[in-house]
Amino acid sequence: MDKEIVEHGFSWNRRRFLSAMGIGIGGMALGSLLMPDLFDGNGLEAGSAPGIPHFAPKAKRVIYLFQNGAPSQQELFDYKPKLREMTGKEIPPSVRGTQRLTGMTAGQSSFPLVGSFVDFKQYGNSRAWISDLLPYTAKIADDLCIIKTMYTEAINHDPALTFIQTGSQQGNRPSMGSWLSYGLGNENKNLPAFTVLLSRGIGNGQGVYSKLWSNGFLDSVHQGVQFSKGEDPVLYLRDQDGMSRKDRREMLDHVSELNELSYTEFGDPEIATRIKQYEMAYRMQSAIPEVMDISKEPDDIVKLYGPDCLVPGTFAANCLLARKLSENGVRFVQLYHQGWDQHGNLPFEIAKQAKDVDQASAALVTDLKQRGLLDETLVIWGGEFGRTSYTQGTLTKENYGRDHHPRCFSIWMAGGGIKPGMVYGETDELGYNIAQDPVHVHDFQATVLNQLGLDHEKLTFKHLGRRYRLTDVSGKVVKGIIA
């Protein structure tokens, strides 16, 4: 019905009007945050220097399940029996080296090692070690590529988060999703190319910041659009009470009519763009609630993601939503789940955090797979840095904490042309340093871009005289994990 109203309202006359002005050709979506496929390959781009994609893409879309606060790799993916053995012993200076410490442990007089309180088992063909905290994740081990040797340059949350998302610790650069929106545009003209979903566990939390999904110096059409729970999933999307779709259509028809008069007088193309943006806004008002509606999901899907998926704003609900958005062509879906900053009380908190995310993370991969979408969707799971092998604060039998650790941390990737069922990289026996195959944050970013058919050295934007890129001035594609 909405469609009829659109067609009726955006009358043939109006379309003729726009096309007579030479601006109807691009259809409704020109200049919007919703990039049409209309011009793909029709020659208009010819002569434009950077040919995009730079090579055949493996993945079309990304879902990034960001674990905000830095999950401890020792309790999740990096199995270290030796560390357990040495619990209570001081970390050898040869291992610690010159690693700078955060202000939180810089004053600590001793650095006793602490092994994981939880057991690990091996799963899948790759015999990957996965902790008992992640039973669902363990079941999909053969779909995962676990990277144990990520490392970063920052040792505090704000700069580390900003670094992994934008390639720079200091901010004001475009986020990964913005780069992809800029490079590849969108597949669905009714939804933004880059969407953001937030949730929070009970563990010690760190804030998230809208600068993390900022467009930086790129056009703001590439900004991440936050979808939230509740009645207004996108800011200002919902009409006020008493405004029916028909009422809205009528008002917009009058707005358009008035704007057309203005266009006739001034001839300013911006007016035509504005007319189209109003039509786009109208379409978003239908399209977004539709995609956000999970009430029609069948029981087996609800069961797969777990009962929390029916509670808006939970990580599970966001995972399900991520699948729907991605399935509908959203280029980059970014989730943040807060609560992974276990400086103290780690055993208790991390168990809860893991329980929050385990089932739904695995369900998302399984669900994409059963829909035949995993091949073209890259799923990423991980935080901004790792945690120390030694304890922060007092070590007791039941309790300990871990400080920030930039030298190694674990993430996993699935689908999108990444080798399934493998573990990449190895840390030393205490899980403090990388023993082989290090993956710098810029390497990781280069690899993500690579899977989408983009050369990280060529995807640039010239701003204030410099060609910027997501990977700043370094980064190598991690060939070893590419299928």
Partner 1 sequence: MRYIAIYPYGDQPLHMKFRAKPGHILSLFLGIIVLILACDRKGAGSYASAPLPDSVSYNFDIRPILSDKCLACHGPDANKRKAGLRMDIAESAYSALKEDPDAHAIVAGKPELSAAYLRISSKDTSLLMPPPASNLTLNQREIELIKKWIAQGAKYERHWAFTPPKKTSLPAVSDKKWPRNEIDYFILAKQEQKGLAPNEEADKERLLKRVALDLTGLPPSLNMMDAFLADKSPDAYEKVVDELMASPAYGEKMALQWLDLARYADSHGFQDDGYRTQWPWRDWVIHAFNGNMHYNQFVTWQLAGDLLPNASMEQLLATGFNRNHKITEEGGVIPEEYRVAYVMDRNDLFGKGILGVTLECARCHDHKYDPFSQKEYYQMYAFFNSVKEVGIESVIGGPETYAKKPLMEISNDDVKKSLPFINKQDSGKLIVSVMGDLDTIRRTHILKRGVYDAPGEEVQPGTPHSIMPFPDAYPKNRLGLAQWLFDTQNPLSARVYVNDLWQEFFGRGIVKTAGDFGMQGELPSHPALLDWLAVDFKEHDWDIKRLVKKMVTSATYRQSAIVTKEKLAVDPDNILLARGPRYRIHAEWVRDLVLASSGLLNPTIGGPSVKPYQPAGLWEGATSGRGLLSIYTQDHGAALYRRGIYTLIKRTVPPASMAIFDASNRDLCEVRRLRTNTPLQALVMLNDPTVLEASRVLAAKLLSEPSDTKDKIIKAFRSIVCRKPLEKEVSILTGYFNDQMKSIDPATAHKILSVGEYPIPKGMDESQLAAMMRVVTTIYNMEESITKS
Task: Give, as ranges, the residues between 192 and 211 that touch partner 1 (CB under 8 A).
Answer: 198, 205-211
Query: Smallest distance from the beta carbon of 429 to partner 1, in angstroms?
Result: 27
CB burial string 391-425: b at 16+ within 10 A, e below:
bbbebeeebbbbbbbbbbbbbbbbbbbbebbbbbb
* Closest approach of partner 1 to the CB of residue 338, in Å: 8
| 104 makes contact with partner 1 (CB under 8 A) | yes
Separation between Cα atoms, residue 98 and residue 113, nearest integer Å: 17
CB of 442 to partner 1, least distance (A): 15
Q: Which is nearer to partner 1, 176 or 284 (CB)?
A: 284
User: CA-CA distance, 185 to 60, in Å (whole number)?
Assistant: 11
Q: Nearest-CA neighbor of 155 among 106, 207, 200, 218?
A: 106
Q: Which is nearer to partner 1, 258 or 483 (CB)?
A: 258
Between residues 130 and 319, which has the closer beta carbon with respect to partner 1? 319
Site for partner 1 in 266-295 (CB under 8 A): 266-278, 280-281, 284-285
Residues 210-269 binding partner 1 (CB under 8 A) are: 210-211, 214, 218-222, 225-226, 228, 230, 232, 234-243, 247-248, 250-251, 254-255, 257-259, 261-262, 265-269
Contact between 168 and partner 1 per CB under 8 A = no
Cβ–Cβ < 8 Å for 46, 205: no
d(CA 209, CA 171): 11
Helices marked H in 328-428: 346-370
Maximum distance among all Cα pairs of the chain, rounded to whole angstroms: 81
Size of the site for partner 1 (CB under 8 A): 103
Q: Quick one: which of 346, 360, 271, 345 has its CA closest to 307?
A: 360
How many of the other CB atoms lie within 10 Å of CB of 339?
A: 24
Query: Which lies closer to partner 1 via its Cβ, residue 131 or residue 223?
Result: 223
Query: Smallest distance from the beta carbon of 231 to partner 1, in angstroms?
Result: 9
Degrees, nearest 5: CA angle 458-182-46: 65
* Helix, strand, coil fractions of the chain, as percent rounded to 5: 35, 15, 45
Comparison of 87 and 226: residue with beta carbon closer to partner 1: 226
Whole-number minimum distance, CB 250 to partner 1, in Å? 7
Q: Which is nearer to partner 1, 225 or 379 (CB)?
A: 225
Token pair 């917009």 is found at: 252
Rounded Cα gap, residues 310 and 297, in angstroms: 10
The interface with partner 1 within residues 405-434 (CB under 8 A) comprises none
The 31-60 contact track toward partner 1, x by CB under 8 A, reads xxxxxx-xx----xx--xxx-x--------
* Binds partner 1 by CB under 8 A, chosen from 461, 470, 475, 478: 461
Q: Which is nearer to partner 1, 375 or 457 (CB)?
A: 457
Q: Shortest approach of partner 1 to residue 48 CB, angstroms?
A: 6
Report if residue 183 touches partner 1, rule: CB under 8 A.
yes
